[in-house]
């Protein structure tokens, strides 16, 4: 936190300037002199930032994650870690966006320990988010997906590629810390119609993966913009938008960042600085062009106009920046009963609590980041339905409230109680009971309103 440093010299300057601490007797000129001196002396912990981009595209065929098990046959576009390091003078924060589908919480835990040991960045200050492209290689052990879709994981874990991904991430964080420079932070909103509700229903009211124009949707874009404090050049953009990385379907065998990757590349080309794509509550949201056999038939480049241009437009509308930035990260565990009949992976035993011999409770870690008491960001390892994050944002005490999904692991889908009635794919890959989402949203709101604001 930033503190005003009051020294005897400052008090002398204020007195000479005619500024009375108990009244309003200073002349405008004297007041300007006094405030100038205060600004010079109180510059404790100026905000710094850096962004690093690391290529993690494999050079040989890999098992792709998303849809059925399949081996890649080439590369459509490169995939990356995009790493943002923030420093408010008291602590450092690392936000990573990686072009992969999902990540086991156990893999996150392993890397978080390395990050803390090597760089002194606390676990609560290290957020690893994935873009959810369905055309990138597997990383680490499967985790919870194996409990639902074991047939996809009959092959051995690719430890070599996992090690490469982890090494590149650690290298990127190290470079970012070395490259920290004085920065300013801007925040804003954008809007894009690039997504659509994917819980389609016919007259039988049974949901299937398709398009539902009448379904719930979240088309807000949450923007963080980092500029250099001295020359005001753009250093990085963070764009938060909810959309599945499924322009390409299971027939595609080329490695790709899918829609999020295309958008990040386009925004970087147009703006001159890297962009971190952070997915949102995309559990029931697909791109409007979805599940095509190749990028051309799926019109994947259309996302440059539909989403990329909207991010650029929203970024340009941000005119106010703050160079005195203070942030506070924290974590809570949301406890909820496990769905009956689910065989929980032993590797994730840290994420369950045994209450009885037959009843288990899932422990969902939720992260929070308070920036200048104006920006409230929360994150979880879930495929959350958008209605939940929409309501949290609507009722949040923070004027800018962003939800970062697919962050620090994957613990399945969390859908609204109403949507359980329509069955379909998502309930089959959810470890939760139907009323979990209502309690989850209320718990998050309570934390935002009390613990976050009180800090």
126-130 and 92-98 beta bridge pairing: parallel
DSSP letter at 351 equals G
Torsion of CA 412, 414, 417, 419, to 10 degrees: -80
List the one residue out of 418, 396, 240 whose CA is nearest residue 314.
Answer: 240
DSSP sequence for 148-189: H-GGG--S---HHHHHHHHHHHHHHHHHHHHT-EEEEEEEEE
Whether residue 380 contacts residue 333, with contact meaning beta carbons closer than 8 Å, is answered with no
SS3 of 339, please?
Answer: coil
CA distance 244 to 260: 9
232 labeled part of a ligand binding site:
no
Whether residue 376 contacts residue 348, with contact meaning beta carbons closer than 8 Å, is answered with no
Query: b/e per residue, 89-105, with b = 16+ CB within 10 A?
Result: bebbbbbbbbbbbbbbb
CA distance 64 to 258: 13
CA distance 269 to 167: 26
244 labeled part of a ligand binding site:
yes
Q: What's the chain's Rg over C-alpha atoms?
A: 23
Whether residue 410 contacts residue 368, with contact meaning beta carbons closer than 8 Å, is answered with no
258-271 and 309-316 helices, crossing angle to 10°: 40
Assign residue 45 a region (left: φ > 0; alpha: ψ between -120 and 50; beta: otherwise). left
Query: b/e per residue, 204-217, with b = 16+ CB within 10 A?
Result: eeebebbebeebbb
For Cα atoms 211, 153, 247, give the angle at the middle one, nearest 5 degrees: 25
Please name the residues in contact with 23: beta carbons below 8 A apart, sequence gap of 6 or more: none
CA distance 202 to 442: 32
DSSP letter at 406 equals S
Where helices occur in 19-119 by DSSP H, the ranges are: 28-41, 105-119
Q: Which residues are annotated as a binding site?
A: 132, 244
Q: Enumerate the known binding-site residues for Zn(2+).
A: 132, 244
């Amino acid at each position: 936190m930033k503190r005003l440093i009051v020294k005897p010299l400052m008090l002398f300057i204020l007195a000479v300037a005619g500024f009375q601490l108990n009244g309003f007797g200073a002349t405008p000129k004297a007041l300007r002199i006094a405030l100038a001196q205060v600004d010079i002396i109180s510059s404790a912990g100026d905000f710094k930032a850096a962004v690093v981009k690391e290529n993690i595209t494999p050079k040989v065929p890999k098992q792709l994650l998303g849809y059925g098990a399949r081996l890649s046959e080439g590369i459509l576009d490169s995939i990356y870690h995009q790493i943002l390091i923030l420093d408010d003078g008291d602590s450092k924060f690392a936000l990573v966006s990686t072009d992969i589908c999902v990540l086991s919480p156990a893999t996150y835990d392993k890397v978080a320990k390395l990050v803390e040991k090597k760089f002194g960045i606390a676990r609560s200050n290290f957020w690893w988010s994935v873009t959810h492209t369905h055309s990138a290689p597997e990383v680490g052990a499967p985790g919870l997906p194996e409990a639902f879709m074991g047939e996809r994981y009959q092959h051995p874990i690719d430890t070599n590629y996992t090690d490469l991904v982890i090494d590149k991430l650690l290298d990127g964080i190290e470079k970012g810390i070395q490259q920290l420079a004085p920065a300013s932070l801007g925040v804003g909103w954008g809007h894009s119609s690039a997504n659509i509700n994917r819980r389609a229903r016919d007259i039988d009211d049974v949901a299937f993966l398709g398009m539902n124009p009448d379904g719930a949707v979240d088309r807000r874009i949450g923007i963080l913009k980092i500029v250099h404090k001295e020359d005001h050049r753009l250093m990085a953009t963070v764009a938060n938008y909810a959309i599945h990385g499924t322009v390409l379907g299971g027939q595609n065998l080329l490695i790709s960042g899918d829609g999020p990757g295309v958008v990040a590349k386009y925004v970087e080309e147009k703006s001159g600085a890297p962009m971190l794509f952070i997915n949102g509550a995309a559990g029931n949201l697909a791109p409007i062009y979805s599940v095509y056999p190749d990028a051309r038939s799926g019109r994947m480049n259309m996302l440059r106009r539909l989403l990329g241009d909207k991010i650029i437009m929203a970024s340009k509308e941000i005119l106010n920046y703050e160079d005195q930035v203070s942030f506070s990260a924290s974590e809570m565990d949301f406890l909820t009963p496990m769905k009956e009949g689910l065989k929980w992976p032993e590797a994730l035993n840290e994420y369950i609590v045994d209450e009885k011999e037959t009843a288990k409770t899932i422990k969902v870690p939720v992260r929070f980041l308070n920036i200048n008491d104006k920006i409230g960001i929360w994150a979880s390892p879930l495929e959350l339905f958008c209605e939940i994050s929409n309501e949290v944002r609507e009722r949040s005490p923070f004027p800018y409230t962003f939800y970062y999904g697919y962050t620090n692991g994957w613990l399945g889908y969390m859908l609204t109680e109403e949507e359980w009635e329509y069955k379909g794919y998502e309930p089959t890959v959810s470890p939760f009971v139907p009323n979990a989402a209502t309690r989850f949203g209320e718990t998050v709101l309570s934390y935002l309103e009390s613990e976050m604001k009180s800090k």
